[in-house]
Each structure stands twice: as C-alpha cells, then as structure tokens.
Amino acid sequence: MPRRPDPIEYRAVYGTDPSKNAELLSKVIDILNRSEVMKKAEQQLAEKDKETA
C-alpha cells in the first residue's frame, strides 16, 4: 500500500492555495501546448525538406 504523504510534505509539493495551483497548471498546459506546436512545426519543416530534395 502506498505511503500517505506527510501533510507538511504535501503542502510543500502541492501548496495550499488553489489559485497558485491553477497558475501552475496553466503554466504546465502552456508548456505542453508549446511542445505540441513545436512538433507540428518540425514535421512541416521536414515535409518541406522532402519536397525540395
């Protein structure tokens, strides 16, 4: 059975302020979206390279 996190440890990792959690979540989502956009851009560049080759 997994160990229950210590309340202090939990607060240190997850915080207690829901608005801060929302901020962090939006930052994480932004980063994930950026990486998706970058992947798409790289795919498009690779396709253009194939066309010109």
**The predicted structure's pLDDT at residue 52:** 83
Check whether 16 has a pLDDT greater than 70.
Answer: no
pTM above 0.75, yes or no: no
pLDDT for 27-51, tens place per residue?
Answer: 888 888 898 888 999 999 999 888 8
13, 38, 39 from 47: Cα distances, Å: 42, 14, 12
More confident residue, 22 or 10: 22
Q: What is the pLDDT of residue 18?
A: 65
Q: What is the pLDDT of the chain when averaged over all its residues?
A: 80
